[in-house]
Amino acid sequence: MEEFEKFIGDDVILQKALYLTTKESMTPAEWNAYQQSIKHEMDNRAAEKFKLEEAEEKGMRKGKAEGKRDIALKMLKRNRLVDEIIEDTGLSTGEIQSLKDSIK
């Protein structure tokens, strides 16, 4: 069955034909089990997609935060004012102080 589904892909007409052919060849109990397996597969795919999107968002946030720290470090090494660094990066005074301490 999976081979047919891969072959059919996104073709709606072929999907409908497979659906009707499958339904006609099954008993009601088999059909219910088949429907449950499809629902389970769709739920799994949705959960995987959600996890991937969350991981991507987390990675983007982490990358932005690291970028801000890198910029702040460069500014500190150039003896820029802390207020200027806060304004340009959005980092807190404590975060900048921590970066300052790491340079020494």
DSSP alpha helix (H) spans, the chain: 2-8, 12-24, 28-77, 82-89, 93-103
Predicted TM-score of the model (pTM): 0.59
pLDDT at 19 over 80: no
51 class by beta-carbon count within 10 Å (0-12 exposed, 13-18 middle, 19+ buried): exposed
Cα distances from 16 to residues 5, 10, 20, in angstroms, run 11, 11, 6
Please give the structure tokens belonging to residue 56.
């991507």
Give Cα 65 to chain centroid, integer Å: 18
Confidence of residue 61 (pLDDT cuts 50, 70, 90): very high
The residue-averaged pLDDT of 41-70 equals: 96
Confidence of residue 4 (pLDDT cuts 50, 70, 90): low
